[in-house]
């Protein structure tokens, strides 16, 4: 059995494969790793390009575009390895990036998944939005990172060099125990894309496993190659999927008060978009809530099924206040200013 399968999910990404696959091959030096491209029924020449230029790279051909979650679930079912790495097609790994991740997992069986430090490909002295140096959430379910709070991204000045436990690892570059991936239920396909890795990590943490960030491993991520931050559909998915994961994973003890507060906060967000003239984003928030309510019974059923995983509901990696309040009122822009956490 191959120890590590590095799996790149592709959809119409020939240009990304041309640009980033060479660095993945060159810098993946771990002795027992295999690189695999899973294709979400691309209509471009991605598969032809791979066959012509990289005939030794294994490919998995899916019959339609299942999205990020469904695509990985269906591809990983066809792969046998001790560890999976979910690697975005717009990621360039640094030299020797895989070894520290595998060593971290091998050292402690209580670690279910880990991630490298993620820096911006086009600005390599800065962290990258989708994960930075480890993911967290606040009391109300809003995600942020060590190195990125909301839309404020820090420069990497070696201020976050320690390997430590975080709340979530970015799906842009996520190493996970393969058995645990399936035991936890994999990525939720109802999400389609965005925040599904946070939902998965939350389930894993509720099963008493750790999620780690390992800054001695670095990758460089373009970000927004599929949907940019300015795309209103991304706003829709982020707001909707955030509510989905809270329904599935929140503790019953403060479930209703958190949700009531979130309804108010999301309403304020929609008004904020409207006042900025971003009508599409304002409508996206409303549309997200409409979709959420229509699927709420389904997600309440999922919540009941996950009760066995709710063995630990109070995690030290959850910021016990509002990150929105901290950012806009307290003017906290850097992770190091949040006194609740270690660096």
* CATH code of the domain covering residue 217: 3.90.550.10
Q: In Å, how far are 29, 67, 230, 301 from 35, measured between CA atoms?
A: 11, 20, 32, 37
Together in a domain, 127 and 265: no
Together in a domain, 295 and 320: yes
Residue 168: closest CA among 118, 205, 217: 205
Together in a domain, 209 and 258: no
Each of the 343 residues of the chain gets a pLDDT tens digit; together they read 779 999 999 999 999 999 999 999 999 999 999 999 999 999 999 999 999 999 999 999 999 999 999 999 999 999 999 999 999 999 999 999 999 999 999 999 999 999 999 999 999 999 999 999 999 999 999 999 999 999 999 999 999 999 999 999 999 999 999 999 999 999 999 998 889 999 999 999 989 999 999 999 999 999 764 445 568 999 999 999 999 999 998 888 778 898 899 999 999 999 999 999 999 999 999 999 999 999 999 999 999 888 755 544 578 999 999 999 999 999 999 999 998 877 7
Whether residue 165 lies inside any domain: the answer is: yes
Distance, first Cα to last Cα, the chain: 37
- In this prediction, residue 272 carries a pLDDT of 93
- In this prediction, residue 223 carries a pLDDT of 79
Together in a domain, 247 and 216: no
- Residue 138's H or E segment, with its range, is strand 135-138
Among residues 195, 221, 247, the one where a domain terminates is 221
Q: Are 133 and 215 within 8 A, CB to CB?
A: yes
Whether residue 343 lies inside any domain: the answer is: no
Residues 6 or more apart whose Cβ sits within 8 Å of residue 259:
246, 250
Residue 181: closest CA among 229, 112, 237: 112
CA–CA–CA angle 165, 160, 101 (5° rounding): 50
Whether residue 174 lies inside any domain: the answer is: yes
Question: How many domains, in total, are found in the chain?
Answer: 2
Q: Tell me the residue ranges of DSSP E strands in 106-147.
A: 111-120, 123-127, 135-138, 143-145
- In this prediction, residue 255 carries a pLDDT of 83
Phi and psi at residue 172, in whole multiples of 5°?
-70, -30
Q: Are 8 and 18 within 8 A, CB to CB?
A: no
Q: What is the 8-class DSSP label of residue 308?
A: G
Together in a domain, 207 and 153: yes
C-alpha 72/C-alpha 133 separation (Å) is 23
Domain encompassing residue 326: 232-337
- In this prediction, residue 229 carries a pLDDT of 56
- In this prediction, residue 308 carries a pLDDT of 53
- In this prediction, residue 145 carries a pLDDT of 97
Residues 6 or more apart whose Cβ sits within 8 Å of residue 67:
40, 189, 191, 192, 193
Together in a domain, 192 and 237: no
Residues 6 or more apart whose Cβ sits within 8 Å of residue 205:
167, 211, 312, 315, 317
Q: In the beta sheet, which residues pair with residue 10?
A: 39
Residue 114: closest CA among 138, 85, 143, 79: 85
Together in a domain, 85 and 159: yes
Whether residue 43 lies inside any domain: the answer is: yes
Q: In the beta sheet, which residues pair with residue 92?
A: 220
Together in a domain, 53 and 154: yes
Together in a domain, 175 and 79: yes
In this structure, the dihedral spanned by the alpha carbons of residues 138, 97, 228 and 59, taken in order and rounded to 10 degrees, is -120
Q: Are 196 and 187 within 8 A, CB to CB?
A: yes
C-alpha 141/C-alpha 138 separation (Å) is 5
Q: pTM of this prediction?
A: 0.93
Among residues 221, 252, 282, the one where a domain terminates is 221
Chain centre distance of CA 119: 14
Whether residue 226 lies inside any domain: the answer is: no
- In this prediction, residue 245 carries a pLDDT of 93
Together in a domain, 110 and 180: yes
Among residues 159, 187, 221, the one where a domain terminates is 221
Q: Are 114 and 85 within 8 A, CB to CB?
A: no
């Amino acid at each position: 059995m191959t120890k590590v399968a590095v799996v790149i999910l592709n959809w119409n990404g020939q240009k990304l494969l041309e640009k980033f696959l060479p660095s993945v091959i060159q810098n993946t030096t771990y002795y027992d790793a295999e690189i695999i491209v899973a294709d979400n029924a691309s209509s471009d020449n991605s598969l032809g390009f791979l066959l012509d230029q990289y005939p030794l790279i294994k490919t998995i051909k899916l019959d339609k575009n299942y999205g990020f979650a469904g695509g990985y679930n269906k591809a990983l079912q066809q792969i046998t390895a001790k560890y999976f790495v979910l690697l975005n097609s717009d990621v360039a790994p640094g030299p020797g990036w895989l070894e520290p991740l595998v060593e971290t997992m091998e050292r402690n069986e209580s670690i279910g998944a880990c991630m490298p430090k993620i820096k911006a490909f086009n600005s390599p002295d800065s962290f990258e939005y989708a994960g930075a140096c480890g993911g967290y959430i606040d009391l109300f379910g809003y995600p942020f990172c060590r190195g990125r709070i909301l839309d404020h991204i820090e420069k990497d000045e070696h201020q976050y060099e320690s390997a430590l436990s975080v709340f979530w690892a970015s799906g842009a570059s996520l190493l996970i125990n393969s058995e645990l991936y399936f035991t936890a239920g994999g990525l939720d396909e109802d999400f389609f894309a965005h925040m599904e890795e946070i939902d998965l990590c939350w389930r894993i943490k509720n099963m008493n496993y750790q999620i780690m960030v390992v800054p001695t491993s670095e990758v460089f991520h373009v970000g927004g190659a599929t949907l940019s931050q300015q795309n209103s559909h991304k706003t829709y998915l982020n707001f909707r999927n955030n509510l989905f994961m809270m329904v599935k994973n929140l503790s019953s003890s403060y479930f209703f008060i958190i949700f009531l507060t979130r309804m108010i906060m999301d309403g304020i967000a929609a008004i904020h978009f409207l006042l900025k003239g971003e009508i599409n984003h304002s409508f996206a928030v409303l549309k997200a809530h409409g979709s959420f309510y229509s699927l709420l019974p389904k997600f309440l059923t999922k919540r009941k099924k996950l009760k066995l995983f709710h063995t630990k509901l109070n995690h030290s990696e959850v910021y016990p206040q509002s990150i929105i309040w901290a950012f806009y009122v307290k003017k906290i822009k850097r992770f190091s200013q949040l006194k609740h956490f270690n660096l």
